[in-house]
Structure formats: C-alpha cells, structure tokens
C-alpha cells in the first residue's frame, strides 16, 4: 500500500458515519421484472394442463416482494472501509444493517460480482465464540413456515441482488444439501434458466477420507450456484 497521503484519501462516508437514505419512489413492479421463460415452463400438449408455478415464491405481480417485505427507509452505518487490490481503486464499504433494506437503497447496476453464503436451512441453533473477549453469539437457522418461509426470505434478497448487478455481472450463491435443489429452481425463475453459468462443487473432505462410518454416507461437499445477468456478456472476474 502506498504511503502517499493523496492516494489514500477516501471519498464518501468513512467508518462510523451514517448514510442517509435516498429519496425513494414507491412504484409497482414492471411487467418485465422477471425473465420470460414461457417455452421452458410450457408442458407438452399430450400431458394436458399441468400447473407449474412460474414465479418465485413470495412474488406479487404488482408489488413484487415489497408486499411481504415493505420498504423501510432508514439510515445505515459504515462499519469499515476495506482497501485491497490496486491502490487506485476506491476502498470498499462494509455496511451495518439489514441487507434487504440496505440493498434497496443502493443504485441499480452498480456491482460487478456478488458472492453470498446465506443460512443453509439446517434447522439448527449455532453458538459461536466471537472476538477477543470470547463473546458468545447465537445464530438461528430455524425458519418459521419451513422451506417456503426460508425461500421467500431468500428470494426477496436475490431479487435485489439481480437489480444491483451490472449487465455483465454475476452472482455466486453458496449452499448445501439442505435446500440447494429448491434454491436452484427459485434462481432459475429470478435470473433465468439460460443464465446459469455453472454448478460448482466445493469438496472439503473429511478426516475419514469421505468413507461412511455408519448407515449414512459422509457429506463432503457444498454447492455454489453461479448465474450471470446476461450469459452472453458474462465476464469472469
């Protein structure tokens, strides 16, 4: 990192500053908010009428996900400025707040790449020792409403991430066996089936080398779904 103070100057809010919410226009969702996939979801004629849910869970055709998750215009706080990579690049901002409300206040098509590691729908309560003071923090991965409740929560955030990504942008969603197959179906509806870049298998192994020690096989991998906003203009970063 350079020692030149002029190159280290940071524009915009710094750590501890509160960012005022922008003027928000409460509008209905446009007709093309979700990708057109009529050919993909249309059943063969010989099967007759087969009901298929073509819209992601929780979606309202007029209000989108704001019907279930109304917009809340609140200030959010800059928790940290993080600089890495080339010294000429603007430092990144680490923001503190509910990610859905924060994302709704960020400008559209402003992000190149998103990687998320959301809750896995494990049905477990986690206790984590955090920080130098060995503070005990709890995290619940138990969802009211079961799988539909979890997917609706996630879909509302995936939809905002899609809005934030540039036309050449991409998103990577890390999950595991608990809900990966359901998440894939919902992401197809939000980003478009044809924009799936790949399903990446993260094999992390086990001390036993992946061998089963009982009746059940050992779980040795997670899944990362990679989607592009427009696969035709996708850029690998």
pLDDT at 99: 92
pLDDT at 9: 61
pLDDT at 73: 80
When comparing pLDDT for 111 and 45, which is higher? Answer: 111
pLDDT band at 1 (very low <50, low <70, confident <90, very high): very low
pLDDT at 233: 75
Question: Contact, 196 vs 185, CB < 8 A?
Answer: no
Residue 19 corresponds to which tokens in the numbers above?
A: 């960012």
pLDDT at 209: 55
Residue 26 corresponds to which tokens in the numbers above?
A: 């409460």
Radius of gyration, CA atoms only, the chain:
21
pLDDT at 208: 55
Which DSSP letter does residue 233 get? G
Question: Contact, 185 vs 126, CB < 8 A?
Answer: no
pLDDT band at 213 (very low <50, low <70, confident <90, very high): low
User: If you average pLDDT over every residue of the chain, what do you get?
Assistant: 84
d(C-alpha 154, C-alpha 148), whole Å: 10
Largest CA distance in the chain: 71
pLDDT, tens digit, 9 for 90 and up, residues 42-100: 777 777 777 778 899 999 999 999 999 998 887 877 878 887 777 887 778 788 788 99
pLDDT exceeds 90 at position 111: yes
d(C-alpha 190, C-alpha 36), whole Å: 10
Give the strand order in the sheet containing 18-19: 18-19, 76-82, 92-96
Instruction: Walk me through the domains of the chain, giving residue ranges and CATH numbers.
Output: 108-233 (3.40.50.150)
User: Which stretch of 1-5, 8-12, 16-20 has the lowest confidence by average pLDDT?
Assistant: 1-5
Contacts of 3-12 with CB under 8 Å at 24 or more apart are 7/87, 7/88, 10/81, 10/90, 10/91, 11/90, 12/93
d(C-alpha 202, C-alpha 123), whole Å: 22
When comparing pLDDT for 87 and 154, which is higher? Answer: 154
* Of residues 194, 199, 196, the one with CA closest to residue 223: 199
| Chain centre distance of CA 13 | 24
pLDDT exceeds 80 at position 25: no
pLDDT band at 178 (very low <50, low <70, confident <90, very high): very high
pLDDT at 36: 86
d(C-alpha 190, C-alpha 164), whole Å: 13
pLDDT at 212: 59
Instruction: Name every residue whose Cβ is closer than 8 Å to that of residue 173 and which is 6 or more positions away in sequence.
Output: 116, 118, 158, 183, 187, 224, 225, 227
User: Which stretch of 111-120, 163-172, 193-202, 205-214 has the lowest confidence by average pLDDT?
Assistant: 205-214
pLDDT, tens digit, 9 for 90 and up, residues 115-153: 999 998 988 887 777 666 767 777 788 898 899 999 999
CA dihedral 55, 61, 64, 66 (to 10 degrees): -130
């Amino acid at each position: 990192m350079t020692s030149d103070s002029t190159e280290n100057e940071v524009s915009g809010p710094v750590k501890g500053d509160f960012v005022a919410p922008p003027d928000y226009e409460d509008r209905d969702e446009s007709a093309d908010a979700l990708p057109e996939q009529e050919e993909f979801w249309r059943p063969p004629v010989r099967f007759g009428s087969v009901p298929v849910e073509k819209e992601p869970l929780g979606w309202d055709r007029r209000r989108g996900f704001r019907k279930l998750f109304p917009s809340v215009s609140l200030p959010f706080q800059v928790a940290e400025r993080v600089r890495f990579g080339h010294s000429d690049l603007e430092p990144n901002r680490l923001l503190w707040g509910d990610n859905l409300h924060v994302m709704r206040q960020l400008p559209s098509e402003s992000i190149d790449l998103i990687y998320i590691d959301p809750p896995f729908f494990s049905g477990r309560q986690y206790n984590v020792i955090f920080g130098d003071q060995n503070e005990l923090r709890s995290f619940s991965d138990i969802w009211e409403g079961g799988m539909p409740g979890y997917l609706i929560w996630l879909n509302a955030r995936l939809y905002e991430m899609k809005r934030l990504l540039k036309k050449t942008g991409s998103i990577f969603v890390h999950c595991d066996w608990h809900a990966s197959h359901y998440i894939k179906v919902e992401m197809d509806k939000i980003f478009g089936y044809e924009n799936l870049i790949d399903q990446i298998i993260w094999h992390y192994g086990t001390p036993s080398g992946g061998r089963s020690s009982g009746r059940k096989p050992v779980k040795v991998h997670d899944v990362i779904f990679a989607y592009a906003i427009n696969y035709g203009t996708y850029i690998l970063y």
